[in-house]
Structure 1
Amino acid sequence: MSRARALQYYLLTRILLAPLMLWTIVSIIFLLLRATPGDPADAILGNRAPEAAKQALREQLGLSDPLPIQYITYLLQLLRLDLGTSITSRGLPVWDVIWDHFPATIELTFYGMLIAVVLGVSIGMFAASRPNTVFDAGGRLFGIITYSLPLFWMGMVFQLIFAVQLKWFPLGTRFPISTTPPPQITGLYTLDSLLTGHWSALFTAFHHLALPCLSLGLLLSGIFERIVRVNLKQTLRADYVEAARARGIPEGQILRNHALKNALIPVITVLGLTFAALLGGAVLTEVTFSWPGLGNRLYEAISLRDYPTVQGIMVFFGVIVVIASIAIDAVNAYIDPRIRY
């Protein structure tokens, strides 16, 4: 079987298995929500509400039905692409809740990943090109520290230093209440500001993005630094690199044109999966900085036991991760001819 046919067969298999993966994700989320302590009626109406009102709410939400009936009803809704209605958003469909908050999450994740990749790859390259030196040890220490620091702690430290004491940046939120945001085209404030020519709004958007993106990017950079440093050090010891040195090619050219391309292949895999996971996993950053993204909305929905919103957001993120994993396999096979499926 040729390489192209093998890749097509593999991708087709992954696509056919995607519904099974999504069904597993949906089932786990459904069961975990109902296995955790707490009653949505108590969370929404309060403990002092009359029992009759609580029972009426449970019947309205379908929570008084047996668990298998609830499960089958939810699966039938998903087959119609119906994520349900949010309990805590004044009856808005969950799809509307997702589209209202998702642009803020995309913006935070994109710039946070940009900082992480630039910083992590740069430090990893610098450390790997100087093996067994203080720079190599420093790169290793940087990767360990940034990988192990708690994200919420780093965010609060940045807030304390740069927002409270130095007053260089705002404590949180996406845009000041007293300022009108740019006209909405994509929902991304930085992009909308560029498209409409609102330069003051662009500066304000970046000003509010700085601290959450820096805290998120700095801690994620340790992952990329470690991957680049380890893979680049191995690549620099490969036979084709030694042959390039024997031909008298400058070390910088060997690093850029020969070693770095192969060392970055694992980075592409981690980059895609990390970006997809961060779209739903930047909850701590969004909560710490009061960022009105989908992660913060998910945290609120979990706190209030809003089953439809939690299930809808998690299913939405599950679809993104499944699609991203399939796309990354295809990109890796295209970049690296050695990959076989």
Structure 2
Amino acid sequence: MLRFVLRRCALVLPSLLGLLVVTFLLIHAVPSDPAVAMAGDAATPEQIAHLRQQYGLDRPMWEQFGLYLGKVASFDFGESAFSHRPVALDIVQRLPATLELTFASLLLSVLIGVPLGVVAALKHNSWPDYALRIFSVLGVAVAAFWFAIMLQFLFSMTLGWLPLRGDLSATMSRPPVVTGFLLLDSLIAGRWDAFGDAVRHLFLPAVTLALGGLATIVRFTRSGVLDTLQHDFVLYERAVGYSRSRLVWIYVLRNSLTATVTQIGLLFGGLIAGGVVVEAIFDWPGIGSYTVQAILTGDRQVMLAVTLLVGAVYAMVNILVDVVHGLLDPRLMGRA
């Protein structure tokens, strides 16, 4: 197992390096001058030239990239041109909010998607199956920004049941920061009022972000269960008298989840990357809104750091997915 994980980790660094190269080239291909954006409209040419020299923007591209790699190797991601603070500090402060939203969305997708996928497989070619197949197509096709706006219009602006934006009401005092996760910090401090308010703020963005993943998990679970039900061991266990529920939820489901686990792993990284739009719409104080702010201000240091973070998350999750596959089916370890 350890050798398997180390071999996977050895492939991460070249992948992240390639990601940084592509991102660096794309950022520099955009016809914009970060020094002008940082200096503001009232800046003089001398001030703009000083900023270019200060941030190394007057050097050749390859030299800028080499300097950046040297800083990244020492975990120095530079200074944000917008907040004028270390990018690493901004990310550390905002990452818990993004992870909280991502975990909530993924939990909704899994807890609802897997049972619905099993139901669709067991009711193959009946009306529940057709309805869930239509839902899985629509769930992937619906644009997240449109769904978010519709939820805001219905539950916040029309019915007034849920907050429109943010992660906590302005009239609610925040609990002391212990973990950085608002829900956990509220529980640790015994602030049930803050916990309930945070859950209400979390609900709409989590549902918005979960829709596409939920539809994907339903589709892959259905396909996996249908395939497993055709295996000989299922017919044998039916013959020896296993109950239907035990057969499906213990034996069939475990042998059907390989593709679903892969999708769950990919969804985790995808939710962090895809949360940019959702966080911006709901004014969620996470990495997504921070990235939108960086794009609008031409903050290259932030864009590079966030890209590297998302790439690292994808890589780590893929390694974890491979490990889970090995636990579900130890034969895969020998083939890897």
TM-score by length of 1: 0.94
Distance in 1 of aligned mates of 2:159 and 2:212: 22
Are residue 31 (structure 1) and residue 25 (structure 2) matched?
yes
Which of these residues, 239, 245, 253, is aligned with residue 252 of structure 1?
Answer: 245
Distance apart, 1:141 and its partner CA: 0.6
Which of these residues, 162, 172, 176, is aligned with residue 155 of structure 2?
Answer: 162
Distance in 2 of aligned mates of 1:188 and 1:23: 30
**Residue deviations 1:176-211, cap 9 Å, x none?**
222111111111111111111110010010010011
Paired letter, 1:31: L
Which of these residues, 52, 60, 66, is aligned with residue 66 of structure 1?
Answer: 60
CA contact (8 A) 2:140 2:211 kept: no
CA contact (8 A) 2:77 2:86 kept: yes
Structure 2 partner of 1:82: 76
CA contact (8 A) 1:280 1:294 kept: no
Paired letter, 2:276: V
Which of these residues, 292, 295, 300, is aligned with residue 285 of structure 2?
Answer: 292
Structure 2 partner of 1:270: 263
Distance in 1 of aligned mates of 2:310 and 2:250: 37
Structure 1 partner of 2:191: 198
Distance apart, 1:46 and its partner CA: 3.8
- Structure-to-structure mapping, 1:1-341, within 5 angstroms: 8-47=2-41, 49-89=43-83, 91-339=84-332, 340-341=335-336
CA contact (8 A) 1:175 1:204 kept: yes
CA contact (8 A) 2:221 2:257 kept: yes
Distance apart, 1:43 and its partner CA: 2.5
Runs of 5+ unmatched residues, structure 2: none
Paired letter, 2:38: I
Deviates more, 1:228-237 or 1:42-51: 42-51
**Residue deviations 1:122-154, cap 9 Å, x none?**
211111111111111111111001011101110
Distance apart, 1:44 and its partner CA: 2.8
**Residue deviations 1:189-239, cap 9 Å, x none?**
111111111100100100100111111112320010000011111111111
Distance apart, 1:48 and its partner CA: 5.2
Distance apart, 1:8 and its partner CA: 4.8
**Residue deviations 1:95-132, cap 9 Å, x none?**
10101110110111111111111111121111111111
Deviates more, 1:73-82 or 1:48-57: 48-57
CA contact (8 A) 2:254 2:328 kept: no
Aligned positions, number: 334
**Residue deviations 1:155-193, cap 9 Å, x none?**
000000000000111111111222111111111111111
Distance in 2 of aligned mates of 1:208 and 1:276: 22
Distance in 2 of aligned mates of 1:316 and 1:218: 24
CA contact (8 A) 1:86 1:306 kept: yes
Distance apart, 1:41 and its partner CA: 2.5
Runs of 5+ unmatched residues, structure 1: 1-6
Q: Percent identity?
A: 33
Q: Does the C-alpha gap of structure 1 residues 8 and 198 become closer, same or farther in structure 2, counting only changes over 3 Å?
A: closer
Distance in 1 of aligned mates of 2:99 and 2:6: 28
For 1:86, what is the secondary structure of its paired residue? coil
